[in-house]
């Protein structure tokens, strides 16, 4: 299969910049090619989006009323659900994720589209008190053309939360999916066209980050950028956008801690801790990849986790085991090198899972690994692995736990396991993170809940109503009437 860009509701590959091979992570074989977009392709997409909006929001997309946008988004969501199997299979083949994970991604995408469809006609400005003789009001306008740079780990969910919210707010979108996960996003743009989105409302340009991604970040026609990806790339995108004062939402990496206190309900906590780090083969920005346990129950918790980790299996996506392969050869080598380095540095492995016998030797499989007594300053406790690797360490008291938890450059999410209500509230306040889960982990998956980081995990919020407001521009109108 040869995939082109999807611009103005048409498949195009006009810039002739070459192609990028697409590999199946379960066996390393090439099965498709995508277009390698460049600045000309991005330019075409931005102009298509501008045309859809019109000079004064009078274009075929710009002039639609909120309720008309809402109806289109509801139709989009329904069409996604109707094609659930097709989309999940495409995603599993392209990214290696287990089929059940890909199915969840489709369901969550459909929920995002429904949520934002429902919100289109429910956000509004205000009237403000001001000097006598004036009426002052605010209105929330679309920003214009928004750019969306998407990573490979949850392409459909991230499309839903950023593109869904932006379309609901009345913007036209140019999307640059990751070079390792473009197929579902291209299909989604095609489905949007099928359900009636006018040409130019939603455009997808595929390609490498340093070509198409950089061109999108720097394009003067883009009024807002939503970037989800690594901290290093986020810095580059924000820098390019700053040159022309373009607002950016950065959803970056994490090294999220789970804190387990001596009074925790371990029957609840243990499965959640395992799932939080192996879900999507650990390629989750909010993975609970650091485990901090009160010293009095440290051995007990490790024993139970050892049991859990030993049972974990990685295997082909269609077998729906605990994990599929990692996304690509580079990520595979990277995770293996991190595990090897930690071992070479003397850090002990408490448990590891297995790779299913049916897996090919050429696939990018990585078994789950539980490291114990990880020194807090070691890179294994500081840097994102983006693989199914958990770094466990003990703490002595609450203050120590907070110090360890906050002791990285990141601040995306955090989990706290304790039955003590006062401690729950204290910790929720003290932990530096965009979301704190108490006696659960991963509630951030809820489409209604604002999500984003602090420190090097980024800024701005996506998901929930908060995201919708972020995709609007607030205008204040002061009328003097005497």
Residue 478: strand pairing partners: 136
With CB under 6 A as the contact rule, which of the stretches 92-100, 190-198, 209-217, 358-366 interacts with ligand NAD?
209-217
253 is an interface residue for ligand NAD by CB under 6 A = yes
Nearer Cβ to ligand NAD, position 199 or 470? 470
Positions in 374-393 near ligand NAD (CB under 6 A): 384, 386
259 within 8 A of 294, measured Cβ to Cβ: no
- Fill in the per-residue mask, 423 to 462: x = in contact with ligand NAD (CB under 6 A), - = not in contact: ------------------------------x----x----
Asked if 226 is part of the footprint of ligand NAD (rule: CB under 6 A), the reply reads no
Q: Which of 35, 117, 149, 447: binder of ligand NAD (CB under 6 A)?
A: 149
**Selected range binding ligand NAD among 17-25, 59-67, 233-241, 258-266, rule: CB under 6 A:** 233-241
Contact 291, 273 (CB under 8 A): yes
Closest CB 38 distance from ligand NAD, rounded Å: 13
- Confirm whether 194 is a catalytic residue: no
Q: Find the shortest distance in angstroms from Cβ 3 to ligand NAD.
A: 15
Distance CA 130, CA 122 (A): 25
Q: Pick from 214, 347, 380, 467: which binds ligand NAD (CB under 6 A)?
A: 214
CB nearer to ligand NAD: pick between 152 and 371: 152
Q: Does residue number 153 form part of the binding site for ligand NAD (CB under 6 A)?
A: yes
Q: Is 86 a catalytic residue?
A: no
Residues touching ligand NAD, count (CB under 6 A): 30
Of 87, 92, 143, 178, which lies in the binding site for ligand NAD, with binding defined by CB under 6 A? 178
The stretch among 105-113, 249-257, 260-268, 315-323 that binds ligand NAD (CB under 6 A) is 249-257
Question: What distance in Å separates the CA atoms of residue 309 and residue 291, rounded to the nearest whole number?
Answer: 14
Does position 213 interact with ligand NAD (CB under 6 A)? The reply is yes
Give me the least distance between CB of 278 and ligand NAD, in Å please. 16
Q: Per rule CB under 6 A, is residue 228 in the interface with ligand NAD?
A: yes
Q: Which one of the listed residues 91, 173, 179, 251 is annotated catalytic?
A: 251
Segment lying near ligand NAD (by CB under 6 A), choices 10-18, 140-148, 204-212, 338-346: 204-212
User: Tokens for 25?
Assistant: 């992570």
Active-site residue, selected from the candidate residues 173, 285, 384, 462 = 285
Are 302 and 274 in contact, with CB atoms under 8 Å apart?
no
**Which residue from 29, 54, 21, 27 is spatially nearest to 145, judged by alpha carbons?**
54
217 touches ligand NAD (CB under 6 A): yes
Is the Cβ of residue 182 or residue 354 nearer to ligand NAD in the bound state? 182
Please state the closest distance from residue 44 (CB atom) to ligand NAD, in A.
18
Report the site for ligand NAD in 262-291 (rule: CB under 6 A). Answer: 285
* Residues classed as catalytic: 251, 285
- Binding residues (CB under 6 A) for ligand NAD: these are 149-153, 176, 178-179, 208-210, 213-214, 217, 228-230, 233, 236-237, 251-254, 285, 384, 386, 412, 453, 458
């Amino acid at each position: 299969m040869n995939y082109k860009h999807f611009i103005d509701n048409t498949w195009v590959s006009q810039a002739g910049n070459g192609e990028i091979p697409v590999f199946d992570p379960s066996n390393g074989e090439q099965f498709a090619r995508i277009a390698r977009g460049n600045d000309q392709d991005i330019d075409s997409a931005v102009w298509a989006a501008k045309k859809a909006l019109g000079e004064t929001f009078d274009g075929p997309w710009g002039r639609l009323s909120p309720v008309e946008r809402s109806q289109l988004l509801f139709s989009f969501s329904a069409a996604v659900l109707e094609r659930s199997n097709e989309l999940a299979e495409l995603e599993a083949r392209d990214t290696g994720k287990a089929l059940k994970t890909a199915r969840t991604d489709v369901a969550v995408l459909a929920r995002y589209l429904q949520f934002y469809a429902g919100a289109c006609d429910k956000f509004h400005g205000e009237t403000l008190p001001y000097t006598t003789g004036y009426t002052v009001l605010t209105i929330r306008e679309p920003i214009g053309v928004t750019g969306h740079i998407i990573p490979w780990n949850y392409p459909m969910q991230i499309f839903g939360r950023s593109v869904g919210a932006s379309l609901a707010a009345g913007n036209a979108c140019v999307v640059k999916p990751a070079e390792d996960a473009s197929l579902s996003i291209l299909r989604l743009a095609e489905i949007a066209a099928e359900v009636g989105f006018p040409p130019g409302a939603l455009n997808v340009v595929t390609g490498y980050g340093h070509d198409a991604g950089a061109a999108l970040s720097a394009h003067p026609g883009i009024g807002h950028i939503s970037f989800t990806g690594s901290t290093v790339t986020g810095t580059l995108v924000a820098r390019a956008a700053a040159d022309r004062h373009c607002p950016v939402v950065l959803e970056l990496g994490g090294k999220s801690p789970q804190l387990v206190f001596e009074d925790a309900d371990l029957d609840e906590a243990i499965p959640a801790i395992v799932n939080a780090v192996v879900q999507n083969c650990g390629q989750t920005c909010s993975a609970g990849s650091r485990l901090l346990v009160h010293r009095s129950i440290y051995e007990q918790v490790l024993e139970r986790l050892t049991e859990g980790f030993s049972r974990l299996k990685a295997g082909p996506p269609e077998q729906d085991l605990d994990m599929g392969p990692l996304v690509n050869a580079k990520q595979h080598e990277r995770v293996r090198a991190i595990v090897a380095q930690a071992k070479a540095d003397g850090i002990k492995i408490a448990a590891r899972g297995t790779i299913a016998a049916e897996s090919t030797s050429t696939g990018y499989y990585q078994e789950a690994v539980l490291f114990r007594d990880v020194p807090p300053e070691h890179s294994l406790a500081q840097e994102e692995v983006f693989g199914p690797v958990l770094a466990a360490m003990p703490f002595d008291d609450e203050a120590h736990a907070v110090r360890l938890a906050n002791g990285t450059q990141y601040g995306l999410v955090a989990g706290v396991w304790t039955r003590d209500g006062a401690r729950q509230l204290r910790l929720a306040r003290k932990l530096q993170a965009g979301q704190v889960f108490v006696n659960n982990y991963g509630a951030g998956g809820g489409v209604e809940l604002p999500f984003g980081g602090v420190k090097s995990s980024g800024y701005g919020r996506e998901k929930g109503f908060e995201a919708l407001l972020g995709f609007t521009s607030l205008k204040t109108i002061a009328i003097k009437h005497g």
